Amino acid sequence: MRLFAPKTLKARQLETGRTLALNGKAWRHLREAVLARDPLCCCGCGAPSTDVDHVDGDPTNNSMDNLMGLAHECHSIKTATGKLPTGYDESGIPLGGPWVQMIAILKKSPATEAHEPHGTP
């Protein structure tokens, strides 16, 4: 005896509000087009776009002007907070993207602290 029947595609679409299945051919083509148009994350972090986001948060609005490419980390931040990361801090350091952790490690590295920048007395 089955306690739960598997959900149909239509049931999942109604549940999530999506009009295109994320594993469907139509979404894959639309995603490819957005990532080709936006090869770098639209938040300004400089990372490659890997995810496609609905600008207005409406998963039924799949028009090209409502879709933007984001780095996965930036997409996660926007999904969690409702806001895009701002791009760069006041020092010009990226706030998102895959190298942020590397920059933090380099800042703490004894090798980078031991050397003064050129021109510093």
| DSSP structure class, residue 68 | E
Residue 54 lies in a domain: yes
In a domain, 3, yes or no: no
CB burial readout 44-78, b (16+ within 10 A) else e: bbebebebbbbeeeeeeebeeeebbbbbbbbbebb
Indicate whether 119 belongs to any domain.
no
Q: What is the pTM of this model?
A: 0.59
Residue 40: DSSP 8-state: B
pLDDT tens track for 9-59: 556 555 655 667 677 788 899 999 999 999 999 888 888 999 999 998 888
Q: Quick check: is 121 in a domain?
A: no
Tell me the backbone φ, ψ of residue 18, rounded to 5 degrees.
-80, 145
Q: Which of 60, 49, 59, 47 is nearest to 103 (CA)?
A: 47
56-100: pLDDT as tens digits: 888 888 999 999 999 998 898 888 888 887 656 666 656 655 555
Query: Is 71 among the domain residues?
Result: yes
Determine, yes or no, domain membership for 91: yes
Residue type, 120: T
Domain that holds residue 89: 9-114
Residue 49 domain flag: yes
